[in-house]
Amino acid sequence: MTNHVSQAQTPLLTAIKECIKSSHAPFYTPGHKRGVGISPSLIDIFGKSVFTADLPELTELDNLFAPEGVINQAQELAAQAFGATRTWFLVNGSTCGIEAAIMATCGAKDKIILPRNVHSSVIAGLILSGAIPIFINPEYDAVLDIAHSITPESIALALHQHPDAKAVLMVYPTYYGVCGDVVSIANIVHQYNIPLILDEAHGAHFAFHPDLPISGLAAGADICVQSIHKTLGAMTQASMLHAQGNIVNYDRISKALQLVQSTSPSYILMASLDAARAQMALQGHSLITQTLHLANTAHQNLKKIPCLSLLHQSPPYQALLGGFKLDPTRLTINVSNLGITGFEADEILETQLEIRSELASLQNITFIISIGNTQEDIDKLIQAFNTLAAMAPINKNNTKLDSTDLFNNLTELNNTLYISPREAYFAATETLPVDQTYARIGAETICPYPPGIPVLIPGEIITKEAVEYLQKVKTLGGFLSGCSDTTFKTIKVIA
């Protein structure tokens, strides 16, 4: 679908290369002046060449916020490669893309339908836009203790109850690689002539191989925000926002991005986007084929290890997935039958076996297998889990570290949004002991892992049940993100 002659070009990267060759005297930012003023300690670690490319908006390098030259050309090539009508480069990560997508589609008091297990950037988008969230609980895998996606049925019901909603947002894929039915959901959403926004941070690779789940754009989403650095070859923070169709106002996206992106964008990050796009457009199929082979090798060997269970797209887990698709490059291993928690297993892997995971939870450890992994990595991972299984106090009674009841309690909390997240954010606050916060309006986003679903967001009424739920998660070995008091003895509330 891409023109391989044009996709071989890297207009922004090439322009930076030419600037590096120039012998002009620099009287512009940054202060290190092409590496001359950089600390020798940095040069010892990174070398000097990377700093020669740390340049500002020179004439030949274009301007991110009004691109007409090489940045514009690079973004057009990216749109072609990923299947978008228009693409914007993001230097503040997918976080700013999610915020801009919400701000471009929703204003103050507008409703947006979204799953409860959203990234913190979505809450920030609600605060910035003033939009009112209509939350849907995701499906839950009680056996593996994993929150999945939302369903077309839940979206249809929410839109029937809130036909005045201005947008729908969903996470695709989830952190665990689970993919909801975007095609059906997009069809339902478009019946209301509103956009479907995808937090596709972990799905940038989907567009480049038929054995992966369908990409969000191909499935009909209107806005897709992708972290190119998470699964492809760009540098950390380098992301893209893609849009298609005529439901979304592209000018509003551009204006929103001007509010949330740096006015001093890193050309090194943008050049990495240009290069990563060319790499995938030209070699993506072969690179992903190799990645899928590595992932399959890991799955086939790890599932032979006693007391481990893997989330994968085959019986009996197909039924547990509830019809959802699964990214085969995402590896989630349940270790509860070893008699240890995912947190404990992760610590052993890190400190004793030289394995670093992406995410640990009460029962699971999740690993990302990408184009940067090697056969040596996979061999080391398999050996580490064999060693871990031999070390662990095997759970001979087959009793599981079960948080099913916890999640069921979560779905019954039915939190009440008293004021908008934006109003709560700007309101005066006070800090109280947790047992004095019941019936008060919360001022913090508190999200327990597992299952990674915010229990409280700014503007919601704090209930005794919610506090007890959070306390139990912490007691079981989970952790709470977003709360200013990491001991969870106090909570910030509206004064």
Indicate whether 46 belongs to any domain: no
Does residue 366 share a domain with residue 289? yes
Indicate whether 73 belongs to any domain: no
Indicate whether 373 belongs to any domain: yes
**304: exposed, middle or buried (C-beta count within 10 Å: 0-12, 13-18, 19+)?**
exposed
Does residue 418 share a domain with residue 348? no
Q: Buried b / exposed e across 120-142, counting CB within 10 Å, b at 16+? A: ebbbbbbbbbbbbbbbbbbbbbe
pLDDT digits (tens, 9 = 90+) for 210-220: 999 999 999 99
CATH code of the domain containing 301: 3.90.1150.10
Does residue 416 share a domain with residue 336? no
**pLDDT, mean of residues 369-388:** 98
Distance between CA atoms of residues 213 and 198, nearest Å: 14
**pLDDT, mean of residues 61-69:** 97
The model's pTM: 0.92
In the prediction, which pLDDT does 406 show?
56
Distance between CA atoms of residues 2 and 284, nearest Å: 11
Domain boundary among 391, 422, 446: 391
Q: What is the DSSP letter of 184?
A: H
Domain boundary among 391, 413, 447: 391
**469: exposed, middle or buried (C-beta count within 10 Å: 0-12, 13-18, 19+)?**
buried
Does residue 435 share a domain with residue 349? no
Identify how many contiguous H helices and E strands the chain contains and give both numbers. Answer: 19, 19
* Beta carbons within 8 Å of 399's beta carbon, 6+ residues apart: none
CB atoms within 10 A of CB 59: 8
Partners of residue 241 on adjacent β-strands: 88, 225
Tracing tokens 């001359």 back to the chain, one arrives at 36
Residue 292 pLDDT exceeds 80: yes
Does residue 411 share a domain with residue 382? no
* Length, in residues, of the chain: 495
Does residue 376 share a domain with residue 301? yes
In the prediction, which pLDDT does 323 show?
62
Residue 189 pLDDT exceeds 50: yes
Does residue 386 share a domain with residue 408? no
pLDDT digits (tens, 9 = 90+) for 356-367: 999 888 889 999
Does residue 413 share a domain with residue 382? no
Indicate whether 351 belongs to any domain: yes
CA 460 to chain centre: 24
Indicate whether 256 belongs to any domain: no
Residue 236 pLDDT exceeds 90: yes
* Beta carbons within 8 Å of 69's beta carbon, 6+ residues apart: 15, 60, 61, 62
Per the structure block, which two tokens stand in for 463?
């209930």
How many domains are contained in the chain?
2
Terminal CA-CA length for the chain: 56
In the prediction, which pLDDT does 289 show?
98
Domain boundary among 391, 423, 441: 391
* Mean per-residue pLDDT of the chain: 91
Indicate whether 428 belongs to any domain: yes
* Beta carbons within 8 Å of 314's beta carbon, 6+ residues apart: none
Does residue 438 share a domain with residue 382? no
Residue 179 pLDDT exceeds 80: yes
Q: Which of 268-272, 477-481, 487-491 shows the lowest per-residue confidence on average (mean pLDDT)?
A: 477-481
**26: exposed, middle or buried (C-beta count within 10 Å: 0-12, 13-18, 19+)?**
middle
Domain range for 291? 284-391
Q: What is the DSSP letter of 25?
A: P
Does residue 436 share a domain with residue 368? no
Does residue 350 share a domain with residue 297? yes
Does residue 363 share a domain with residue 332? yes
Indicate whether 34 belongs to any domain: no
CATH code of the domain containing 431: 3.90.100.10
Indicate whether 318 belongs to any domain: yes
* pLDDT class of 395 with cuts at 50, 70, 90: very low
**pLDDT, mean of residues 186-198:** 98
pLDDT digits (tens, 9 = 90+) for 100-111: 999 999 999 999
